[in-house]
Structure 1
Amino acid sequence: MSPAQQALLVLVHLRCGDSLARLTASFELSPTTCYRYVTEAVALLAAHAPSLDQAPAGRQRKVTILNGTITATFLVRWTGQHKRWRVHRKRTYDVNLQALSGDTGQLLWISDGLPGSPTT
């Protein structure tokens, strides 16, 4: 695949939430290749993202909003810790994301995924 097609695959996954199985069929890739493209792109984006210390720099006297949300996720690795991600009330696996944004909605920082269960 060309770099543009790889970027499109990752954008479809991140923006539309298409599963890797659907992406595999749509882009005619093997599941392993599809997974590799998505994980490599997410790691690249994370490496270029600012840290929490860097995000509010230079924002004196500007509005900065801290907010969090719990988002459903499709995949959870089956490990000894997988139960921490389970929200029994909703019967789903969820991820808790915390974010800093500016007054016009620009994303300044977002946390790593945290377990979505309120009992942790």
Structure 2
Amino acid sequence: MLFYRAALPLSRTTLNYAAGIIRRHRKSIGSRWRKLNPGQQALLVLAYLRKGETFAELAAGFAVGTTTAWRYVEEVLALLATRAPKLRQAVRDAKKAGYAYVVLDGTLIPIDRVAADRPFYSGKHKRHGMNLQVIASSGGDVLWVSGALPGSVHDMKAEWIWDVLAELEAAGLVTLADKGYQGSSYAKIPYRGKNKPESQKQANRAHAQLRAPGERANAQLKAWRILRKLRCCPWRAGQLAKAIHALQIREA
């Protein structure tokens, strides 16, 4: 096997944050000695998330067993995911920040599945995946990310399951969303139908421009290569996204 040096496009602050969480966790459970120190374990996990390295590759690079690499990653993902903002907290923080509006959008996390797995198949995207709901600020930052639902679940139903718009309405936050949320009595969505008058077409173009930051927020999540195509249990998509969000907050 060949080895090489590689760069990880993340700041030292993010590494120190993850290492601090690991250090405190080890102290709380009384863990005396491990093959990797907290900083090395944090680096291993960041490489897994940001570059999508396999456990075999991580194990070889950090001179540990494959099972050990898997255990290190699982431990830190659980710790990070619990630190991602909950929906009510995220909405409250957005209200306090005084955003002119927020953007609600669904994104599909592709998974490694076969055509027989119908619950995971998204007719909209024509591929298998997991549905995540994301609230983004008007500046394009992720404010909140939901747990995972099968790709066959429509965005409107996913929003209803997580009770997203109800929380946003209660806070009085202006919310923009795409046509996937048709039927909502609160979210501002584009006009639908053919042969629309020019005024509605202009309104739709303006709406799309304002909603663009939501697309950028989803792109920020998928800059972490682990989310570009999951080769693990599909239901881990939500935990992975929440862990990444917790890290993104520190990276910002």
- Given the two structures, how large is their TM-score scaled by the length of structure 1? 0.74
Check 1:4–1:86 CA distance in 2 against 1; reply closer, same or farther (3 A cut).
farther
Q: Which moved more, 1:43-52 or 1:95-104?
A: 95-104
Partner of 2:60: 25
Structure 1: which 4+ aligned runs deviate by more than 3 Å?
A: 82-90
Unmatched runs of 5 consecutive residues or more in structure 1: 77-81
Question: Which amino acid in the other structure matches residue 99 of structure 1?
Answer: V
Question: Which amino acid in the other structure matches residue 119 of structure 2?
Answer: R
CA deviations over 1:49-84 (Å, ceiling 9, x no partner): 12111111043351222222112245x8xxxxx763
* Residues paired across the two proteins, number: 112
Larger helix proportion of the pair: 2
Q: Percent identity, aligned pairs only?
A: 40
3-state SS of paired residue (1:26): helix
- Given the two structures, how large is their TM-score scaled by the length of structure 2? 0.39
Larger strand proportion of the pair: 1
1:101 and 2:139 are equivalent in the alignment: no
CA deviations over 1:37-56 (Å, ceiling 9, x no partner): 11111111111112111111
- Give 1:34 deviation, angstroms: 1.0
- Bigger CA radius of gyration: 2
Check 1:95–1:23 CA distance in 2 against 1; reply closer, same or farther (3 A cut).
farther
Partner of 2:104: 66
Cα RMSD (Å) of the superposition? 2.7
Check 1:104–1:46 CA distance in 2 against 1; reply closer, same or farther (3 A cut).
same
- Give 1:35 deviation, angstroms: 1.1
Larger relative contact order, structure 1 or 2 (CA cutoff 8 Å, min sep 6): 2
Structure-to-structure mapping, 1:24-103, within 5 angstroms: 24-60=59-95, 61-62=98-99, 63-73=101-111, 84-85=119-120, 90=127, 94-103=129-138
